[in-house]
């Protein structure tokens, strides 16, 4: 088989990918063996192995110990709504979506004081090492882990106030806008930057997936008169979810 200028392993991977997408290799079907790929495409063992690695990195196939490599079930992406920074009712977007529909979502969180890293300090406009409240969230849908979030708030803003702990106190769980308003900090802007990267091992362990699976990362920051008062990283498995934005027109 002539492959032209494109590397042979990518051409082999592309052909196998097409067979998976077209249904010629349906979910749970064993991928052709390395020897079979070598024979069918007229390539070396190295090329056959690299092609299989490509499909595995793309999340199309998975290895099963002692059994071989199989085509993965392709999940139908579900929607995660992003509705701006102040959904009706004051709750966070996730909580509001669960309340408005037939959501089966649950979440858990933990907060602890820490020192701002260089990256977090830059996003919050503070000095590295300054004290922040770090809160980690795990969101589930129907019992399945669907989203991780880590937020940081400068204690210079919330320290020694009733809203210092985001999920505790009279406004616990009400979201950044309502909590900040309670201490006379008026949030008037929010930015979200969306990117993608391979999931970290600890993220994939919780969210499910294999090394190389891609996650969406939303870097969100709330501002009050130009001053950052909270920043967060939201991590979502890209193969199972799509982020839908509903933005008001002014």
Specify whether the CB–CB gap between 75 and 240 falls below 8 A: yes
pLDDT in tens, 162-221: 999 999 988 998 899 999 999 999 999 999 999 999 899 899 899 987 677 889 999 999
For residue 101, pLDDT beyond 60: no
For residue 95, pLDDT beyond 90: no
pLDDT in tens, 137-146: 999 988 889 9
Per CATH, domain 8-71 is 1.10.10.10: yes
Predicted local confidence at residue 49, as pLDDT: 93
Query: Whole-prediction pTM value?
Result: 0.74
pLDDT-based confidence at 105, cuts 50/70/90? Answer: confident
Domains 8-71 and 78-245 share a fold: no
Higher pLDDT, 3 or 37: 37
Question: Where does the chain show beta strands of DSSP type E?
Answer: 61-64, 68-71, 78-82, 105-115, 131-141, 144-154, 189-198, 214-224, 227-237, 241-245
Q: What is the rounded average pLDDT of the residues 87-116?
A: 68
Collapsing DSSP to helix, strand or coil, 93 comes out as helix
Q: What is the rounded average pLDDT of the residues 118-125?
A: 97
Q: Which CATH number fits domain 78-245: 3.30.43.10, 3.40.50.300, 3.40.1410.10, 3.20.20.30?
A: 3.40.1410.10
Residue 154's closest CA among 179, 125, 178, 185?
Answer: 125
Domain layout of the chain by residue ranges:
8-71, 78-245
Residue 181's closest CA among 132, 135, 222, 220?
Answer: 222
Predicted local confidence at residue 99, as pLDDT: 45
């Amino acid at each position: 088989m002539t492959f032209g200028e494109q590397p042979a392993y990518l051409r082999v991977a592309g052909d196998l990918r097409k067979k998976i997408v077209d249904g010629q290799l349906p979910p749970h079907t064993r991928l052709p063996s390395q020897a079979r790929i070598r024979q069918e495409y007229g390539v070396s063992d190295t090329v056959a192995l690299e092609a299989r690695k490509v499909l595995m990195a793309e999340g199309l196939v998975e290895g099963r110990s002692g059994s071989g490599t199989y085509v993965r079930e392709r999940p139908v992406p579900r929607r995660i709504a992003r509705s701006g920074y102040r959904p009706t009712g004051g709750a966070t977007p996730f909580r509001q979506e669960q309340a408005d529909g037939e959501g089966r979502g649950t979440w858990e969180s933990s907060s602890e004081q820490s020192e701002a890293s260089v990256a977090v300090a830059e996003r919050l406009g503070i000095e590295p090492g300054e004290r922040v409240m770090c809160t980690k969230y795990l969101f589930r849908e129907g019992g399945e882990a669907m989203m991780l979030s880590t937020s940081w708030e400068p204690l210079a803003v919330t320290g020694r106030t009733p809203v210092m702990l985001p999920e505790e106190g009279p406004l616990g769980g009400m979201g950044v806008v309502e909590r900040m308003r309670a201490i006379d900090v008026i949030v008037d802007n929010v930015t979200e930057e969306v990117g993608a990267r391979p999931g970290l091992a600890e993220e994939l362990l919780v969210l499910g997936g294999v090394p190389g699976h891609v996650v969406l990362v939303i870097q969100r920051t709330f501002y009050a008169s130009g001053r950052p008062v909270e920043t967060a990283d939201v991590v979502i498995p890209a193969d199972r979810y799509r982020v839908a934005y509903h933005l008001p027109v002014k």
